[in-house]
Structure 1
């Protein structure tokens, strides 16, 4: 924005070159696109992600069910942290061999690791697909909202980054062209610089 302010202040100055004007206008339009375009892109990305995530969450709710598994055998495991001081307050893990019946009536047996203590013969809830294979909990609406917000922020940040990178690249090209013209001018008048009676 300093370039734009400088252009407006020195717009009538004969020392203001064409490349200065181009650089100032380039900065102005880049700033305008960042201010106006970035929120629109972020909003569009958030809306698209939110719709897709809600569709995925609905599919997961339709295809996953909460069922009960029965404990057959329990093995207590030490905490994951190997440091004694850190592991002193950490809960033990329980490797559980359990069986369950899937929504389609098929029987399954598997090994799970639980944080809370269980005993042989007790039951605990798990999530399974329609064929009885264990899976994760379906995505909630709150999680979909959070992920879509992150997608919108990422889209806005990427848009701002691309615009700023484009502006910097264009300014660099303008500077390179300006320096090339200076070299041409210096090559033309340099040999006569400081000599009397020469026309420069």
Structure 2
């Protein structure tokens, strides 16, 4: 009994979405099922495209992560002095690392919240100059996820706007058709009412 009820509900939904040979069906009534099929196809294509974009971005970023991991290395530098600063968010700090005669000095711009005393980890590039930390796998994964989400959101927004515009046009066409039909039928009704 429950299976029959579910089957009849499914048939009702299909009949509502696809009007078929209903004698009261208008040409504009075919818009909804066609639009439904197009939206499903666009959603599937968008998901595949988003996955491809995200995978491509992840592959590109992971190559960059590997390159940066190989080209940068970390040293522990001792803070020599805190230099005067004109901003409250960042401050320059003089640091040194290595042993004489290879001792190196640099001025780093630290955020104000980081304590500038003792030792600090410093990332160096291939030439031994201070640089930003290398990219991580987590940052690469996050960038790939954002790229894929951007494709999905853009596609969803574009599809939704196109569907709303098309529905507004179809509704306008229905109203125009009803006005034309009423212009034909109204004189006949006026004669019956008299």
Q: What is the TM-score with the length of structure 2 in the denominator?
A: 0.69
Counterpart pick for 1:170 among 163, 166, 172: 166
Aligned partner of 2:7 in structure 1 is none
Separation of aligned partners in 1, 2:153 and 2:171 = 27
Q: Give matches, 1:13-24, under 5 Å.
A: 13-24=22-33
**Are 1:99 and 1:107, in contact at CA under 8 Å, matched by a contact in 2?**
yes
Counterpart pick for 2:68 among 54, 60, 65: 60
Aligned partner of 1:112 in structure 2 is 109
Q: What do the CA deviations read for 1:71-100 (whole angstroms, capped 9, x no partner)?
A: 21147x9xx89xxxxxxxxxxx98632245
Aligned partner of 2:124 in structure 1 is 128
**Are 2:95 and 2:106, in contact at CA under 8 Å, matched by a contact in 1?**
yes
**Are 1:108 and 1:132, in contact at CA under 8 Å, matched by a contact in 2?**
no
SS at the partner of 1:138? coil
> Superposition RMSD on alpha carbons, in Å?
3.5
Aligned partner of 1:144 in structure 2 is 140
1:6 maps onto 2:19 in alignment: no
Distance 1:5 1:169, change over 3 A: farther
SS at the partner of 2:190? coil
- Report how far residue 45 of structure 1 moved: 1.5
Separation of aligned partners in 1, 2:78 and 2:163 = 63
1:161 maps onto 2:157 in alignment: yes
Aligned partner of 1:96 in structure 2 is 93
**Are 2:92 and 2:107, in contact at CA under 8 Å, matched by a contact in 1?**
no
SS at the partner of 2:25? coil
Relative to its length, the structure with more helix (as a share) is 2
In structure 1, stretches of 5+ residues that fail to align are 82-92
Q: What do the CA deviations read for 1:90-127 (whole angstroms, capped 9, x no partner)?
A: xxx986322457xxx795431433624524xxx43201
1:42 maps onto 2:50 in alignment: yes
How many residues are paired up? 174
Separation of aligned partners in 1, 2:16 and 2:77 = 72
- Report how far residue 52 of structure 1 moved: 1.4
SS at the partner of 2:177? helix
